[in-house]
Amino acid sequence: MKFNYIATTKDGKTQQGIIEAPTHDEAIAMLGRQQLKPVVVKSSGGKNVLNLSFGNKVKSRDLVIFTRQLSTMISAGVPLARALSTLQAQSDSKYFRSVIESITKDVEGGRPLADAFARYPNVFSEVYVNMIRAGEAAGILDKILKRLAAQEEKQASIHKKIVSAMTYPSVIMAIMVVAFFFIMIFLMPKIGKIIQNLTPGAQLPIQTRIMLGLSHIMQHYAPILIPLIVIGTFLFLRYIKTPKGKYQWHVFLLRVPVLSVVIRKIAIARFARTFASLMSAGVSVLESLDVTGGAIGNKVIEKELKAAAIEVKNGKQLSETLAKSKNFPPIISQMLAVGEETGQIDTILEKVADFYDEEVDATIEGLSSIIEPILIVVLGSVVGLIAASVMGPIASLNKNIGN
């Protein structure tokens, strides 16, 4: 929101203007950071135009470039506000430019960079913001930004490989479903009439009766079934976005063969890299566990980390608590134990993250090679079932004619 203010400076002069802040109290705090004593602070009735852009996203590539360039400029001694202003002009994304512009104004107004980033959770994740906050506190913002850029690149690379691996199966499945519905609704009824005319009163094979019955249901009840499927899918997607639904969905995913292996390896890689980055930035173990849990992307594993944080708070070592985990393999607790003994948790976990990134790549490639033959078998089975349901009665008819 925008606030009109009247304030006095250190030397007693009156200053007035407009300041942007999410709340009235935050506006007063921002003026205080600018060494201004507020006299009047009231809402101007205008809202930040960026609020109208809710739902806009920034590409991972754009965020990586922004993070790396900001790190380079800060390392070179460029003032933060000037660096942000320069990067704003270089961005190709209109929405991202508007975000950087608002962040630049916040920084110029005295707001910490982490707080400015936190206003845009759809662009900067909780992990990103917390690492920036830790970097500002420790005076190593440029190094943290380099780590963040590398971390974002890794995440984007994994996401790209998963999407690439799933594109072909998804397209084949979509074509198969559409073709099946088309055959059942439009072709099978005509084929059924032909078969019944050729074999009047004859007992049709069971596979033919099943296919004709399914075709009859789909043909006559499609106006009801299709809306029900759409509504059911919509309600399901809404449910798995609720805390309870998301947790149950993640429990289910961790029980699916093959897929659960990929999910666990991705979660472990994220945990190791994020936890290592936070620890190297000087964030406490408890706070690192809290932030890392939210960044993993699986509520079941996040719950385990929260339980581990409670035990760590009570005096136990993190390696000891994770040794009892159902989702973290023994190597994690063993490597953590070595890190705790040597004081190099971040270095060791970086190596663990690299190892599991390679494991994820290998698993995804293996999964791609497995999915293709499975799809061919499924597609062949469907085509074979349809062919058998059509050719069975015809073969029986030919046999009767031959007799």
Alpha carbon distance 155, 150 (integer Å): 9
- How confident is the model at residue 47, as a pLDDT? 44
Q: Taking all residues of the chain, what is their mean pLDDT, rounded to a whole number? A: 81
User: Which pLDDT value is given to residue 48?
Assistant: 43
pLDDT per residue as tens digits for the range 285-321: 888 887 788 777 788 998 998 899 899 989 899 899 9
For 313-350, the pLDDT digits (tens) are 898 998 999 888 888 889 889 998 998 888 888 888 88
Residue 358 CB coordination number (10 Å)? 12
* Inter-residue contact 129 to 118 (CB < 8 Å): yes
**137 token code pair:** 């506190």
Q: Report the pLDDT averaged over residues 262-267.
A: 86
pLDDT at residue 55 in the model: 47
**Look-up: residue for tokens 């890689």?**
269
Can you give the pLDDT at residue 249? 93
> What would the two tokens of residue 198 be?
């050729």
Q: What is the mean pLDDT of residues 373-390?
A: 80
How would residue 44 be classed by pLDDT, with cut points 50, 70 and 90? low
Backbone angles phi, psi at 40, to 5 degrees: -135, 130
* Whole-number Å distance between alpha carbons of 325 and 128: 26
pLDDT digits (tens, 9 = 90+) for 172-218: 888 888 888 888 888 888 877 877 777 676 677 787 888 888 888 88
Cα separation of 294 and 127, whole Å? 8
State how far the Cα of 29 lies from the Cα of 358, in Å rounded to an integer: 47
- According to DSSP, residue 52 is labeled G
Instruction: Return the H-helix or E-strand segment holding 130.
Output: helix 126-138
Q: What is the pLDDT of residue 104?
A: 92
Residue 232: is its pLDDT beyond 90?
yes
DSSP letter for each residue of 348-370:
HHHHHHHHHHHHHHHHHHHHHHH
Band (398; pLDDT cuts 50, 70, 90): low
| pLDDT score of 51 | 40
Question: pLDDT for 68-85, tens place per residue?
Answer: 999 899 989 999 999 999
Instruction: Return the pLDDT at 233.
Output: 92
pLDDT at position 46 is 46
Distance set, CA 108 to CA 67, 104, 113, 365, 385 (Å) = 19, 6, 10, 47, 69
Contact 55, 122 (CB under 8 A): yes
Three-state SS at 180: helix
User: Strand 37-43 and strand 2-8: pairing?
Assistant: antiparallel
Q: What is the pLDDT of residue 183?
A: 82
- Between CA 293 and CA 126 the distance in angstroms is 11
* pLDDT over 70 (residue 399): no
Q: Which residue has the tokens 């406490």?
A: 284
Confidence check: pLDDT of 49 > 70: no
% residues pLDDT > 70 (the chain): 90
